[in-house]
Structure 1
Amino acid sequence: MTMTPTHRRKVSAAAIGSDEMLRTIGIVAALVAAALLGYVLSEGTYFSGETKTAKETPKTGAQWVAAAPGRVEPGSGEVNIGVAILGQVADVTVKLNDDVEEGELLIRLDDEEARARLAAAEAEAGLRKRQRDAEPSTSGREDVTKGEDNVFSSEREVIGARFELDAALTGKRRGEATEQQLADARRRLGKAQERVERERLSYAQAQAKASLPSPNQFESALTAARANVALAASQLDKTRIRTPRKGSVLQLSVKQGEIVSPSPEHPLVVVGDMDVLKVKAEVDDGDVAKIKVGQKAFVRSINYPGKDFEGKVTALAPTMATPRISARGPRRPSDIEVLEMTIDLEGDVPLLPGMRVEAFVRPDR
């Protein structure tokens, strides 16, 4: 069959199109193969048959079985400290980075009004006690009366000893008090607290007696007056903001003269123990079974490229929870829960609380 020029052009075009298609397919296949090879190399995943083993990072060769985003925290955690009442700051006794002792005074609010209320309540209680003592006591309530008197005096002793310790701790920081004065103040507060516990127990036992007579009007009036003293003393104590544990002042966002109010979202002082650092990381659901308490781990930070900070898994949360570190934007019903993991870091680590890190758990050997 003789082919016309038109037929030859059509056959040639078809052949050219077929060659181009084959070349395109070849290029696509090569790109896919290269991408798969790059993924395998970057993930460091090794296969033997169908069994998947630990992953290894190409740069350092460090093996790991699970990775999770984390956040650096002080070893004791961060203690957010605020005020319980509205008031004006009269004194800030610490500065940023100061080391503080347990129970040390951090902030003192203006207490003139609170002191006046306490003085008025104490005067009323004193009057009511004189009236009660001038009348015959109710028969059968002698132990209760004695116990109530002892509890009241011991509670007043605790308040005085606590304020004395505040002054000693502040004086030591400013160079105005000695270690001996501080030790004496601590000892007096400890004894006062022991006494108040004993007296409260004795008072409770006296009140628990069967067929206890009701108090007369003078005894009831004194009890009410002393309750007002306790309320006024509690209000005065709330003008003193103390740290519940030892550590360093990590954040301080208050100045003398400012008006402050209770706000859990905006603490005035953040305290943490910097002697040891830890990382709180959030493990995805698919990696939970790979992790146990005691496994070795390491963390990495973009602030220290190429450096691994060693540690150990010390705690795993008992239940899955909503992610807090890796959360971005509003959650959807399809979002997965995470397990909180705690890693204690080893040695002197230059990381700072609040830094975001990546945590890696090594294989359990």
Structure 2
Amino acid sequence: MLQRLLLLLAAAAMIFTGVWWLYTGGHIPRRASPPSPAVVAPAMPPAPSPARPAPGSPAAWIAAPGQVEPWSGEIRLGFAMEGIIGAVGVAEGDTVRQGQILARLAGEEFQARVAAAGQALAASEARLDDLPSSAGKKERQDAKTAVDAARAALAAAQAQAEKAVLRSPINGRVLRSFRRPGEVVSPSRDTPVLTVGDTSRLRVRVAVPECDIARLAVGQRAVLIPPAFAGRRFTGSVSHLAPSLRGPKNARSLDVVIALDGTPHLPIGLAVQAYIIVGPGGEKELEQGMPRGEKEKEKRGSAPGPRRGT
């Protein structure tokens, strides 16, 4: 009986073992190890962001277009009365002296009037001188009045005759000749007969935008680059700032005059790009502001222009 009971228990154990094996898929579960304590990494400071570049300061130079002028400016000459041009005695490029007659109106009547007025004055003075000592006070006064009137008539004739000639107001050169003999002229017409200028020294007149004028001052140095003169640069100094702005309201500018150094031989009216040095190191910055390609062009003989700084 006991042996039979033991066989039943062994069979039950085998059945239980088989069921358990099928249930677990043949894997023996392992005892879970206790969780290891979490390692907390020390807090790291945030990585610094790239520093922003400081806003660019204004360039140490101002760029503006301009053109070459004679030191005196270009002086327009025309007759002060209407008439026909009789002669023009000079040509473009001629050197002239102050007071020299450059042109005349046609007609001999102006000099004839001067001659007649001179004769009348001489006669009046002779009559005054020939008065006898017995002449009365009124007679002598009338003779003096006649002399004064003759002098006034001569002065008027001379002034009228002077209007018929065109004289140079300066020592300089004839820059342009606009009118020819036989043409009718009048003070109301805008076209001059000639223009003259003192070219012994030259200057450049530039138009600086209104936004830049606060940094301008007389005496500042300037670099001037004429596009027509490849690879050449000229220097000068600011000699004058205009008292008022010109141009439309949304594009006003200030006229700035730059006196050129030395006596360069440049044609009047030549276009130039001016760079006025308004801060320390401006000339060096101007060189650095020129793109590499433009520097090479300058060496090869083309006319470069530095880029405008910010």
TM-score, length of structure 2 as denominator length = 0.64
Residues 320 and 337 in structure 1, CA contact (< 8 A), matched pair in contact too: no
1:256 and 1:292 mapped to 2: Cα distance? 47
Structure 2 counterpart SS, 1:235: helix
Corresponding residue for 1:94?
A: 90
Corresponding residue for 1:335?
A: 250
Residues 111 and 239 in structure 1, CA contact (< 8 A), matched pair in contact too: no
Instruction: Specify the code of the residue in structure 2 equivalent to 1:321.
Output: L
Structure 2 counterpart SS, 1:321: strand
Which of 50, 65, 69 is equivalent to 2:65? 69
1:312 and 1:290 mapped to 2: Cα distance? 15
Which of 278, 282, 288 is equivalent to 2:203? 278
1:119 and 1:111 mapped to 2: Cα distance? 14
Which of 105, 109, 113 is equivalent to 2:109? 113
For residue 92 of structure 1, report the CA deviation from its aligned partner.
2.1
Residue 49 (1) aligns with residue 54 (2): yes
Residues 179 and 192 in structure 2, CA contact (< 8 A), matched pair in contact too: no
Residues 72 and 353 in structure 1, CA contact (< 8 A), matched pair in contact too: yes
User: Runs of 5+ in structure 1 lacking a partner?
Assistant: 1-46, 55-63, 142-212, 324-330
Structure 2 counterpart SS, 1:132: helix
Residue 294 (1) aligns with residue 219 (2): yes
Residue 128 (1) aligns with residue 124 (2): yes
For residue 124 of structure 1, report the CA deviation from its aligned partner.
2.5
Instruction: Specify the code of the residue in structure 2 equivalent to 1:362.
Output: I
Structure 2 counterpart SS, 1:50: coil
Residues 295 and 364 in structure 1, CA contact (< 8 A), matched pair in contact too: no
Which of 150, 153, 167 is equivalent to 1:242? 167
2:132 and 2:251 mapped to 1: Cα distance? 72
For residue 81 of structure 1, report the CA deviation from its aligned partner.
1.1
For residue 359 of structure 1, report the CA deviation from its aligned partner.
1.7
TM-score, length of structure 1 as denominator length = 0.55
1:337 and 1:229 mapped to 2: Cα distance? 51
User: Runs of 5+ in structure 2 lacking a partner?
Assistant: 1-51, 281-310
Residues 224 and 272 in structure 2, CA contact (< 8 A), matched pair in contact too: yes
Residue 321 (1) aligns with residue 250 (2): no
Instruction: Specify the code of the residue in structure 2 equivalent to 1:114.
Output: F
Answer 1 or 2: higher relative contact order, Cα 8 Å, separation at least 6.
1
Instruction: Specify the code of the residue in structure 2 equivalent to 1:252.
Output: S
Residues 88 and 259 in structure 1, CA contact (< 8 A), matched pair in contact too: yes
Corresponding residue for 1:210?
A: none
Which of 195, 217, 223 is equivalent to 2:142? 217
Which of 166, 171, 181 is equivalent to 1:256? 181
| Deviation readout 1:16-59 (Å, 9 max, x if unpaired) | xxxxxxxxxxxxxxxxxxxxxxxxxxxxxxx96235042xxxxx
Assess, with a 3 A threshold, how the Cα gap between structure 1 residues 48 and 101 changes in structure 2: closer, same or farther.
Answer: farther
The total of aligned residue pairs comes to 227
2:84 and 2:150 mapped to 1: Cα distance? 28
For residue 342 of structure 1, report the CA deviation from its aligned partner.
0.7
Assess, with a 3 A threshold, how the Cα gap between structure 1 residues 314 and 133 changes in structure 2: closer, same or farther.
Answer: same
Please tell me whether Structure 1 or Structure 2 has the larger radius of gyration of its CA atoms.
2
